[in-house]
Amino acid sequence: MARPDLLGRLAIRTADRERAALLRRARAVEHADGPWLEVDGRRLLGFCSNDYLGLAQHPQLIAAFKRVADDEGVGSTAAHLVCGHRREHAMLEEALAEWTGRERALLFSTGYAANLGVQQALLGSVDGAVCVQDKLNHASLIDGCRLAGAELKRYPHSDVGGAARQLASRSEAPALLATDGVFSMDGDVAPLRELAALAAREGATLMVDDAHGLGVLDAQGAGSVADAGLGVSEVPVLMATLGKALGCAGAFVAGSAALIEGLTQFARPQVYSTALPPALAAAALAAVTLARQEDWRREKLSGLIARFRRGASELGLPLMASATPIQPLLLGSADTALATAQALEALGLLVTAIRPPTVPAGQARLRITLSAAHEEADVDRLLAALERVRPTIIGA
């Protein structure tokens, strides 16, 4: 009997997705100028970037990158534990730890790698461990648990009672309770105080992925955990990324010295990956400084969010509840979401249609994201365009 052809099976799955009109393809952005993106020769006003504070093209970040690149070159050339850990990495880790109110921080190449590494280190060598997670957690949290070999138990979105029942069902097991801080597709914030109280009662370790909260929430932008008034004792494991509000790339985990020392020894995605380019670490350090000092960016962003939500409400649009830069317009069918995105593009706006399997069937949406790089006139232009395509949306 012949072995199944793995490449053939992959091709069949791809064809199935194409028949369902769910095939996804990357589009090359030819030039970026703040929120303006040149795609296929057209200049489009983008509302789909995670550059929440408008820092990705900030001159201070560019200058920091160039200064180190001119002196050190581009690549770090090795993993951190070999010879890839440079002065810029150490300085960035110190700044991230201080910003988030923790003893130490550890850099990772991506948020995906960080979530895999943390769970592999915490759960991978523990017999009978369980990881309890929100059903809408990022894919990297889900995959991290599965790859660690722990039992994955999920609870309904933001349902603290559901999380309590899942923990109680394995009351003797070592347990990690993991949640997004800000959910990437819905834009809402997890009930962190209630989850922290639950973790304390149940003796579970709470981990928060704050990729979309860092820089945006809290008076100094320290994220959803700080905004909830929680510290390292309540949330021992904090992960956040450098490629969203900070406009760079990479990620970090912050916590106690013991946590970071353990991850340095056992988090395989960090141990066996080439370190971030030192020039990129220098740019990220400049971004941290700006994010902490320039409160006007968060204030402006908050004003734009309020302006957009007010206008969308006046239009009667099916906007989901979110006070963050992520403003999902729930349209239901994938066809409607795609058609609406195409109609907006014809009007000069780039807004991404999010379809299954990224979101559940029947919950396709436009994931509208706002940035401090936008102006009020940009938001008004988006609202005017949505009003023009409103008959398609309301009829969905």
Q: What is the average pLDDT score of the chain?
A: 96
Total H helices, total E strands in the chain: 14, 14
- Statement: residue 394 has pLDDT above 90: no
- Statement: residue 6 has pLDDT above 60: yes
Work out the average pLDDT over 335-346.
94
Render pLDDT for 204-245 as a digit per residue (tens, 0 to 9): 999 999 999 999 999 999 999 999 999 999 999 999 999 999
Taking the C-alpha atoms of residue 108 and residue 328, their distance in angstroms, rounded to an integer, is: 29
Contact assessment for residue 196 and residue 230, using Cβ atoms and an 8 Å cutoff: yes
Is 9 marked as binding a ligand?
A: no
Contact assessment for residue 54 and residue 45, using Cβ atoms and an 8 Å cutoff: no
Tokens 């807004």 locate to 351
What is the CATH code for 59-293? 3.40.640.10
- Statement: residue 246 has pLDDT above 60: yes
Is 24 marked as binding a ligand?
A: yes
Contact assessment for residue 120 and residue 267, using Cβ atoms and an 8 Å cutoff: yes
Is 184 marked as binding a ligand?
A: yes
Is 371 marked as binding a ligand?
A: no
Taking the C-alpha atoms of residue 396 and residue 389, their distance in angstroms, rounded to an integer, is: 11
Look at residue 352 in the predicted model and tell me its pLDDT: 93
Write down the pTM of the prediction.
0.95
Q: 10 Å Cβ neighbour count for 78?
A: 12
Element (H, E) at 88: helix 87-100
Percent of the chain with pLDDT over 70: 99
Is 289 marked as binding a ligand?
A: no
Is 138 marked as binding a ligand?
A: yes
Render pLDDT for 104-143 as a digit per residue (tens, 0 to 9): 999 999 999 999 999 999 999 889 999 999 999 999 999 9
Look at residue 395 in the predicted model and tell me its pLDDT: 62
Render pLDDT for 150-208 as a digit per residue (tens, 0 to 9): 999 999 999 999 999 999 999 999 999 999 999 999 999 999 999 999 999 999 999 99
- Statement: residue 396 has pLDDT above 60: no
Annotation: CATH topology of 26-53+295-394: Aspartate Aminotransferase, domain 1 (3.90.1150)
Taking the C-alpha atoms of residue 40 and residue 304, their distance in angstroms, rounded to an integer, is: 28
Distance from the first to the final alpha carbon of the chain: 49
Range(s) within the chain of domains with CATH label 3.40.640.10: 59-293
Catalytic residues: 184, 212, 244
Look at residue 21 in the predicted model and tell me its pLDDT: 85
Range(s) within the chain of domains with CATH label 3.90.1150.10: 26-53+295-394
Is 85 marked as binding a ligand?
A: no
